[in-house]
Structure 1
């Protein structure tokens, strides 16, 4: 997941605040959604989808 979120595509896309992303990567257990889901998983999954389906 860190490879996806630290990728050039992700950084250049500018969708995420990189300071926040680094905080979530360093302490994923501190960043959970209201339904107790992992924000790290959500961030990485969306970025992965964008890389596969939009960037090609």
Structure 2
């Protein structure tokens, strides 16, 4: 009887651990998506800057 209760507690612990791991993974995913978006926007800005510079150079 005591063993059953212990295993139930252990099961709850692993479930809790799994949920914690899941949330950590989700947070990591959000961070990588944010990083990717930042990288994308900086790339777009660079492209726009290069476009403006080349346009100015042609106009100059």
Q: What range is the shorter-chain TM-score in?
A: 0.3 to 0.5
Normalised to the residue count of structure 1, the TM-score between the two structures is: 0.34
Normalised to the residue count of structure 2, the TM-score between the two structures is: 0.32
Over alpha carbons, which structure has the higher Rg? Answer: 2
